Every structure is written in structure tokens, then in C-alpha cells.
Amino acid sequence: NMIFLLASMTAGLGLLYPVLAPFMGLLAGFISGSETSSIAMFTKYHVETSTAVGANSLVVAASNGIGGGLASVLSPAKIQNAAAVIDKIGIEGQVIRYGLVVALLMTWATSIMTMLQAFPLSPLTLGIVGVMIAVPVVIGLIMFFRGRKEEDT
């Protein structure tokens, strides 16, 4: 079956697979506008792939649901309806841009928690989580100091 074939190919990612699950939920939730449809689309896939890589399938499938829920609030149709209700037609793009940053940060945090819960703690798992935490911090510091340097000139 198609899901089993895709799951066996994706299992090649090994320990990194649980990191992707919340982002898959985020994408599916944004496209469909519904957390429920995100869960329906990917749960079987996450269970099969998680089993193949030895991860806790319930944790990985739940992280997909979290990503789908975060994206549901970014749905263009929902934002357009909300803007119309408060008589602010035209701010939809601004709301999506701001909300997308927040959703990506929350999804990244969900990925870190998923990694910590999906596998038994090992030096490799902790190393991956350490890199996942360090990279955004370093990027944030670089952006912060670049901004300060431009203000000084």
C-alpha cells in the first residue's frame, strides 16, 4: 500500500524523522485549514514511519496534531472571515506574516519536545536536540548584533 511504501522510504531519516512530523502537520493544517484533516491525512503515515525508526508513534502522531492546530489559525479563509467581522479587510497578509513566525517558532519547540519524547534519552538524541536549540539562538544573536551595528552607524 502507498502509505507503507512512503513510510519505509522516509524511515531512512532515522532519528531525524520526529523533527519533521510537526512541520508536516503545520503544512497540512495550513493547506486544509483544519487540524482534523491534518490528523486524518498523516496519522497512519506517522505511525508506520515511527514504528520503522523505533520512535514512540503516539508522540510523533500527536506532534503532527499540534502542528496542524497551529496552522489552522493561519488559514487564509479563517483570517479573512475574522477580518471581515471586525471590519478590517486588507490586514490578512499582515496577520498571516506575523502568525507564521509565531507558528514556526512554536512548531520548532514542538519538534524539540518530540525528539526528547520519541526516543529513549541517549547522547545522540541529546546532541541533536542541542543543535536544534543552538542554531536558532546563534542566528538570533547574529541578527541582533547586526541590527545594533546598523543602528550605531
**Nearest-angstrom CA–CA distance, 27 and 49:** 18
Tens digit of pLDDT for each residue in 97-137? 889 989 999 999 999 999 989 988 778 888 888 888 888 88
Q: Are 41 and 134 in contact (CB under 8 A)?
A: no
Tell me, yes or no, if the pTM score tops 0.85: no
Nearest to 46 by CA among 36, 59, 32: 59
Q: Are 120 and 15 in contact (CB under 8 A)?
A: no
| Sequence letter at residue 99 | G
Q: Give me the count of residues in the chain.
A: 153
Grid cell digits, residue 21: 512530523
